[in-house]
Amino acid sequence: MRIKPVKIVATIGPASHTEQAILELAKAGVDVFRINFSHATREEAIDRIAWIRNAEKALGRPLTVMGDLPGPKIRISDIKLDTILQKGQKFIVSKDIQVGDANGCGVNQPTVLDDLEVGADIFIDDGTIKLTVDKKIENGVEATVIVGGLLKPRKGFSAEGLSLKLNDVTEQDKKAIALLIEQGADAIAVSFVQSAKEIQDVRELLPSDSRIMLIAKMETAKCVQNAEEIVEEADGIMVARGDLGLSIPIAKVPLIQKKLIDLCVRKAKPVITATQMLESMISKPIPTRAEVADVANAILDRTDAIMLSAETAEGKFPAETVEMMVKIIAEVAGDVSVYEYKERKTVSNAITDSVGTIGDLIDGKLIIAFTESGRTARRISRHRHQLPIIAISPDDATIRRLNFSWGVYPQKVAVIRNFEEMLTQAKGVAKNNKIEPLIEGDKFVISAGMPFGETGTTNMILVQKI
């Protein structure tokens, strides 16, 4: 297996909806598979999860299942077939319209129209269609079409300054959450998060002993304002640049991306950078130079993971797109600089702050982190040392959760009962792992906690030589 510190998330869709396609994507380098419940049916989701678990067994490495909730997305109404909007024409968006046509449409959350001001730009279908508000009218607005095209039913509706009025978990989301719990998914991406409350509301729907990660999708202006509290509450975030770029001025997105990644690295929370990363590979076998630079810059920003959406869900070259991601990671990740961040000196923080530095100073080849919950490995990971981190745990949930973390290669082992067993296992993994198998004379660093089998007990650094 090639060392690939930055993780790859791939969306499953019509182009990858077979067991063989999922296996090929995993072989190409996918770590996390995303199932988008805005489109996937219950039956499709169940099939995909089963296929992912089969691929996991076939390849002998953990693969992670992430369900992406539709959320309270603002969408336009149903639209009559073959409705085309022409540049320059007038168009009404109204609370009263149930089925739209070339003259106007409705929206599924009518109260948001109250927020629209004269001069505001409206984006439909991820910006494929653009309008500008001319005036407010009773129960809506009248606008001019700036960019026309085919108006499709129930597509996304966005405008700068809009805020969602409905914060409760939708019925559609509740059904998806129940299915993901039933099928043993590893993570849930929560859409259109605006504050910590949305994460708390979803967490309340999970069983009390659930290990499912909650990933906050950062795609609204309000989520940027409340980023600190959201990152604190969530288990990780996704910088969902598509909707984010429609709800704030698009020129602000690159800097916000950097700030959100930095916040997550400091908090040792996984961060995924998403949307249009290799968009041209939906239809072409090679990406644009700008797309390659975009992926590279996200890596240099220290993102934990990069995500493919339509590229693997609908594109002609799903596996080739993943392989291109792997090539970019291989070229760029070695230039990510070490992140020096010190926080209050608990014993576990002091240990995880020091492991990578010690490994560098002794010219070590590997870090082996024993971890029950995954927290130790994530805290070592946030410093972005170049040494591979093999995270050892007896817990399947921990192993799969760590597939989101930079430079961490999770591996399941038997429960450890004493120091001697720990040392024996560490040496065995150091010599026989698929990432960086060590030979005689190679040095490596062990991080562990005593007593064994308890979370939050990291208190030991041990340097060993093969």
Does 75 qualify as catalytic in the annotation? yes
Does 217 qualify as catalytic in the annotation? yes
CATH number of 78-159: 2.40.33.10
What pLDDT sits at residue 327? 97
What pLDDT sits at residue 163? 63
**Which is the catalytic residue, given 4, 7, 11, 34?**
34
User: From the CA atom positions of the chain, what is the Rg in Å?
Assistant: 23
SS3 178: helix
Structure tokens at 191: 């859409």
Beta carbons within 8 Å of 255's beta carbon, 6+ residues apart: none
**Which is the catalytic residue, given 7, 61, 73, 75?**
75
Beta carbons within 8 Å of 417's beta carbon, 6+ residues apart: 452, 453
Structure tokens at 263: 């916040």
pLDDT along the chain (466 residues), means of 10: 86 97 98 94 97 97 96 90 96 96 94 89 90 95 97 87 69 96 97 93 96 95 94 98 88 96 96 96 97 98 97 97 97 90 77 92 95 93 95 94 97 87 92 92 92 76 92
Does 57 qualify as catalytic in the annotation? no
Return contacts of 102-105, CB within 8 angstroms, 24+ apart.
Answer: 102/151, 104/140, 105/76, 105/77, 105/79, 105/151
What pLDDT sits at residue 343? 67
Q: What residue ranges do the domains of the chain occupy? A: 7-71+168-332, 78-159, 347-465
Which overall architecture, per CATH, does domain 7-71+168-332 show?
Alpha-Beta Barrel (3.20)
Percent over 70 (pLDDT), the chain: 97
**Which is the catalytic residue, given 11, 64, 220, 275?**
275
**Which is the catalytic residue, given 4, 73, 130, 217?**
217
Distance CA 230, CA 306 (A): 20
Q: What is the pTM of this model?
A: 0.90
Does 34 qualify as catalytic in the annotation? yes
Class of the CATH-defined domain 347-465? alpha beta
What pLDDT sits at residue 161? 64
What pLDDT sits at residue 98? 94
